[in-house]
Structure formats: C-alpha cells, structure tokens
C-alpha cells in the first residue's frame, strides 16, 4: 500500500483529495498549516520522522494573487523557499514529490495553448514566486511531478464558483471580466489525477499540465455556473472589459493537454465538470 503525505491539507485541493481517497488503497497522512509549516524546516522534517513515505503531495501555497503584490516576501517565503525545503527533505529521504503549480508562470502573449516546453515569463509576484518554487524542485530532485493547473474551484474554501453562487443567491448583479481566457478546473478532477499518478506509480517524472478541456473567460465561467445553479438568474451576470485588479494577469493562459491525455485519457470538458460539482452542491 502506498504511503503518502499531504501538506496544505486544509486548502481546497487538500480537502478535495481527502474526499477521494479510498483507505483500503492508500495510507495517507494529512498535515494542515498548523501541524506543518513548510517554511519551518524543523516542523517539516518532523513530518518525515515517520518512515516509509512513497509520495509527498504539496498543496500548501500562498494563493492570494492580489495580496502577493504587496506581501512579496511572504509569497516567496512560502511558494519558493517553503517548496525548496520540501524538495530538500524529499531528496534526503527519497520520497517522490507531487507539487502543484500554476498557469500564471506564463505571460499570456502566446495566444495558443501553452505546452510544458514553452518559455515561462510570469507577470505578477504570485507567478514569479511559484516559478521559483518549480525551479528549486528541478534543481534539487529527479523524482518529481510538477502539475501546472488553472482557475481551481471546489466545494471548499473561497473560490470563484462559491463566490458567484453566493452573490446570485443574494440577488446581486455582477460585472465579470471578458478580458482573460483560461480554463476552469475542478479540484475533484485534479485530485483524481494526483491519485492516478500515485496508483500507477510509473508515470515519467517532469512537468504536467492539468486542466479541464476547452477554454472560456471569467464571464463565461460565471454564466455557466449560474446556468447550472439557477438559470433564471442569468441576467445577473454582465460582461465587462475594464476590471481593475492590483496584480497583472495573463490575458491568455490555456494549457496544452495532449501530453497529459496521452498518459491519462481524455479530460473532462470544463462545462461537464461544472455541472458535476453543482449537482453535488445542490444535494
């Protein structure tokens, strides 16, 4: 039975993974931030005191893109130095690392889906800090999976899907930007891919893209949420171009999925995954 540790277990991805594990197939240990702070190497090492881990899944990150512009040091401390700590300990203890990264390592200028071979050029502090984390892993480890994903949503925490549902339930009209194109990704789909990597245990190491299939704008994403949740409220979602944010965001960050699908099969369309999660939401 594979023994797996997970950091950042109280985040939306960490919680979703907990929903999907079958305790007969895996031996999982989940560590929230209060149990293991990845920026504190001693705290991190203590999690490895229990021997025999096959995989470490890192879901811990500084994920507030807006705040990262102001709290640059903290974003880098967690997304770069914290990840370096994990990579060092994984290397010492020969534990394979599955680390989650982001479409925001790209600048969005390509306007065609980004493959894992395309040059990175992050345009905000969050993206820069996540890229630095990726580079540490590549420098320190051979046995790693870096999964770049985009626009995550789930039933947990604070995310776009939950925000839109809560606003329309309160009859609030929303202006949503049409300026960025990307792909909403369900944490449930990503959790299944992570479990697949652990189960098959022989996927080639390296960088993988993971999102749903297809692309849309945040406006299209919001419309699809409302269409599934309460179609009568579709008129509450209005398109806007001028949506001011503190952090610059890539205007295009669709990920090329061919290589991932070669190993994993065809990925769900973004609309199908939204439908699935909203059905859960309603039950």
> Residue 206 — left, alpha, or beta (φ > 0 → left; ψ -120 to 50 → alpha)?
left
Tokens of 247: 């952090």
Containing 28, the helix (H) or strand (E) segment is strand 26-31
Residue number, 63 or 228, with CB nearest to ligand NAP: 63
Q: Which pair of tokens denotes residue 237?
A: 């979602």
- Applying CB under 6 A, among 82, 108, 122, 182 the residue interacting with ligand NAP is 82
Contact predicate 53/63, CB 8 Å: no
**Length of the chain in residues, anyone?**
283
Closer residue to ligand NAP (CB): 26 or 30: 30
- The answer to the question of residue 253 lying near ligand NAP (CB under 6 A) is no
Task: Give residue 168's Cα distance to chain centre.
Answer: 25
In the bound state with ligand NAP, the residue whose beta carbon lies nearer, of 161 and 168, is 161
CB-based contact 11:60 (threshold 8 Å): yes
* Residue 143 and residue 93 in contact, taking contact as beta carbons nearer than 8 Å: no
* Residue 87 main-chain phi, psi, to 5 deg: -60, -40
CB nearer ligand NAP, residue 141 or residue 152? 152
Question: Under the criterion CB under 6 A, does residue 11 sit at the interface with ligand NAP?
Answer: yes
Query: Closer CB to ligand NAP, residue 9 or residue 228?
Result: 9
Q: CB 103 → ligand NAP: shortest distance, Å?
A: 6
Binding to ligand NAP (CB under 6 A) within 125-164 occurs at 130, 149-152, 157
Provide CB contacts within 8 A for 139, sequence distance 6+: 87
Whichever of 152 and 277 has its CB closer to ligand NAP, that residue is 152
- CB 81, CB 135: distance < 8 Å: no
Record the tokens describing residue 127, joined without a space: 């993206």
CB of 47 to ligand NAP, least distance (A): 10
* Identified binder of ligand NAP from the candidate list 4, 47, 57, 78, rule CB under 6 A: 78
Residue nearest to ligand NAP (CB): 11
One residue of 85, 102, 183, 228 binding ligand NAP per CB under 6 A: 102
Residues 40-69 that bind ligand NAP (CB under 6 A): 59-63
CB of 102 vs ligand NAP, minimal distance in Å = 4
Asked if 124 and 248 touch (Cβ cutoff 8 Å), the reply is: yes
Q: Would you tell me which residues interact with ligand NAP (CB under 6 A)?
A: 7-8, 10-13, 33, 37-39, 59-63, 78, 82, 100, 102, 130, 149-152, 157
């Amino acid at each position: 039975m594979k023994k797996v540790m997970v950091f950042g277990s109280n985040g939306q991805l960490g919680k979703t993974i907990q929903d999907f594990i079958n305790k007969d197939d895996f031996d999982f240990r989940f560590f929230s931030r209060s149990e293991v702070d990845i920026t504190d190497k001693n705290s991190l090492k203590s999690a490895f005191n229990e021997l025999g881990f096959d995989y470490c899944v890192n879901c811990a990150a500084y994920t507030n893109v807006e705040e990262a512009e102001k709290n640059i040091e903290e974003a880098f401390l967690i997304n770069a130095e914290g990840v370096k700590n994990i990579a060092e300990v994984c290397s010492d203890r020969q534990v394979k690392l599955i680390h989650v990264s982001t479409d925001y390592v790209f600048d969005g200028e390509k306007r065609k889906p980004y493959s894992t071979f395309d040059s990175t050029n992050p345009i905000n502090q969050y993206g820069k800090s996540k890229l630095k984390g990726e580079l540490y892993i590549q420098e320190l480890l051979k046995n790693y999976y870096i999964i770049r994903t985009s626009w995550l949503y789930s039933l947990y925490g604070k995310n776009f899907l939950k925000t839109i549902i809560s606003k329309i339930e309160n009859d609030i009209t929303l202006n949503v930007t049409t300026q960025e194109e990307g792909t909403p990704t369900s944490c449930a789909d990503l959790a299944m891919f992570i479990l697949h990597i652990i189960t098959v245990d022989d996927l080639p190491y390296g960088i993988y893209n993971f999102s749903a299939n297809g692309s849309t704008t945040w406006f299209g994403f919001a419309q699809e949420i409302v269409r599934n949740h309460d179609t009568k409220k579709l008129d509450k979602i209005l398109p806007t171009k001028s949506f001011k944010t503190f952090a610059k965001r890539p205007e295009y960050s669709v990920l090329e999925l061919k290589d991932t699908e070669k190993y994993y099969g065809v990925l769900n369309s973004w609309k199908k995954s939204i439908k699935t999660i909203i059905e859960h939401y309603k039950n």
